[in-house]
Amino acid sequence: MALNEQDREDLMREATAFYPRAELHVDHELLPVFWGQKKNGNFSFYFGSDPVYQFDQSGRLRRAYIDGYLYRTQGNTLARLSRERNSKESTLKRYDLTITESAGLLQAMSNRFLKLDSAFGKQHEIRFLQSVADCSQCELQELIQTQMKQILQHSDQLAPRIPGKR
The confidence score (pLDDT) of residue 124 equals: 85
Give the tens place of pLDDT for each residue, 73-84.
Answer: 998 899 999 988
> CB within 8 A of 137, min separation 6: which ones?
128, 131
The confidence score (pLDDT) of residue 166 equals: 59
Strands 69-73 and 78-85: antiparallel
Single pTM value for the model:
0.89
Average pLDDT on 26-39 reads 95
Kind plus residue range of the DSSP H or E element containing 108: helix 99-121
Average pLDDT on 53-72 reads 96
Query: Is the peptide bond prior to 163 cis by the omega test (within 30 degrees of 0)?
Result: no
On the question of pLDDT at 2 being above 60, the answer is no
